[in-house]
Amino acid sequence: MDSAPPRETSLLLGVSDTPPVFELNATSRSPFLFTSDHYGRLIPKPLGDLGLPETELTRHIAWDIGIAGVADRLSNMLGAHLIAQRYSRLVIDCNRPPRVASSIPRLSEATTIPGNEGLSREDAELRRRAIFDPYHRRIDEVIDRRLAAKQPTILVSLHSFTPVYAGVRRPWHIGTLYHRDKALPPLLLKALRAEGDLVVGDNEPYAVSDETDHTIPVHGEARGLTNSGIEIRQDLIADQSAQQQWAERLACILGEIEATLRPELMA
Ligand SMILES: [Zn+2]
């Protein structure tokens, strides 16, 4: 009797566990494709609590606080496809190349992560196969499909940042993060500054690089897509009404940018 090849199983996530990839509006016609690498803070059961107390697992080191509420609303307002990742960046950081040490951090800000000490190559590989690979494979598939259909695509990677890092207060309300794209970041910066009430970071508090980032270099730049990241300060999106207001503001700004970019995207 012929049988299908055995389904690849991961020891970290079983069929009854929450899948790593979360999506909204997957059949969207909007040019915007949103990603959220640090959307959730789940930990696969076999990893327990990574040796950390709850107070650490709910902090910014575990996830991008507030961004899920903004990402969901923004995606729905624009009818745009959102692809998000539900597991904690402390398990494996989906915006780091897997080859770099910070992919599975042993230290984040001033917190050592006991569950990430002394990992074997196989341990790291399991995390990659359970979480990192399915997320990035899905983004790849969606971009393949959109390019094949000649559907214009603007990749926007959504993040949030902590208001105080290592004791240093950050002045920005929102920032763009980008590297090689010359089209979207200047439009975003201009529109955000025109709001009048925002301190806008130009590649602050973070800039994109091939060594520290994965999503923008691999899915945006290498695929030739117009792209930028957006970082919102976490204390500004702490509750649902604030998330709603920021989503409305960004939906408005991105809607105008879409109209500006349309001739270029259709070319
Ligand atoms: Zn992030």
pLDDT of residue 2: 47
What distance in angstroms lies between residue 11's CA and the mean position of ligand 1's atoms? Answer: 26
What distance in angstroms lies between residue 266's CA and the mean position of ligand 1's atoms? Answer: 30
User: What is the per-residue pLDDT across 81-108, written as a single tens digit (0 to 9) for each?
Assistant: 999 999 999 999 999 999 999 999 999 9
What distance in angstroms lies between residue 108's CA and the mean position of ligand 1's atoms? Answer: 13
What distance in angstroms lies between residue 49's CA and the mean position of ligand 1's atoms? Answer: 20
Number of neighbouring beta carbons within 10 Å of residue 82: 25
What distance in angstroms lies between residue 36's CA and the mean position of ligand 1's atoms? Answer: 7
User: What is the per-residue pLDDT across 116-142, written as a single tens digit (0 to 9) for each?
Assistant: 999 999 999 999 999 999 999 999 999
What distance in angstroms lies between residue 189's CA and the mean position of ligand 1's atoms? Answer: 19
Compute the residue count for the chain.
267
pLDDT of residue 114: 98
Instruction: Provide the 3-class DSSP secondary structure of residue 157.
Output: strand
What distance in angstroms lies between residue 13's CA and the mean position of ligand 1's atoms? Answer: 23
Using CA atoms, how far apart are residues 102 and 40, in angstroms rounded to an integer? 18
Cβ contact 68:116 at 8 Å: no
User: What is the per-residue pLDDT across 186-241, written as a single tens digit (0 to 9) for each?
Assistant: 999 999 999 999 999 999 999 999 999 999 999 999 999 999 999 999 999 999 99
Q: For residues 39-72, b (16+ Cβ closer than 10 Å) or e, as one string? A: bbbbbbeebeebebeeebbebbbbbbbbbbbbbb
User: What is the per-residue pLDDT across 25-59, written as a single tens digit (0 to 9) for each?
Assistant: 999 999 999 999 999 999 999 999 999 999 999 99
Q: Look at residues 91, 81, 108, 88 and name the one whose alpha carbon lies nearest to residue 27.
A: 81
What distance in angstroms lies between residue 38's CA and the mean position of ligand 1's atoms? Answer: 5
What distance in angstroms lies between residue 7's CA and the mean position of ligand 1's atoms? Answer: 32
CA distances from 67 to 17, 247, 263, 267 (A): 23, 10, 30, 33
Here the tokens at position 5 are 């090849």
Q: Look at residues 213, 230, 35 and name the one whose alpha carbon lies nearest to residue 140.
A: 35
Read off the pLDDT band of 5 (50, 70, 90): very low
Q: What is the pTM of this model?
A: 0.95
Here the tokens at position 157 are 């990677």
What distance in angstroms lies between residue 48's CA and the mean position of ligand 1's atoms? Answer: 23
pLDDT of residue 8: 47
What distance in angstroms lies between residue 2's CA and the mean position of ligand 1's atoms? Answer: 45
pLDDT of residue 11: 81
Cβ contact 66:74 at 8 Å: no
Using CA atoms, how far apart are residues 220 and 245, in angstroms rounded to an integer? 27
The pairs formed by 234-240 with CB atoms below 8 angstroms and a separation of 24 or more are 234/60, 234/64, 234/65, 234/66, 234/160, 234/161, 234/162, 234/163, 235/163, 236/66, 236/173, 236/174, 237/65, 237/66, 237/67, 237/69, 237/70, 237/160, 238/65, 238/66, 240/69
What distance in angstroms lies between residue 267's CA and the mean position of ligand 1's atoms? Answer: 32
What distance in angstroms lies between residue 138's CA and the mean position of ligand 1's atoms? Answer: 18
pLDDT of residue 266: 75
What distance in angstroms lies between residue 262's CA and the mean position of ligand 1's atoms? Answer: 28
What distance in angstroms lies between residue 245's CA and the mean position of ligand 1's atoms? Answer: 20
What distance in angstroms lies between residue 64's CA and the mean position of ligand 1's atoms? Answer: 5
Using CA atoms, how far apart are residues 31 and 77, in angstroms rounded to an integer? 13
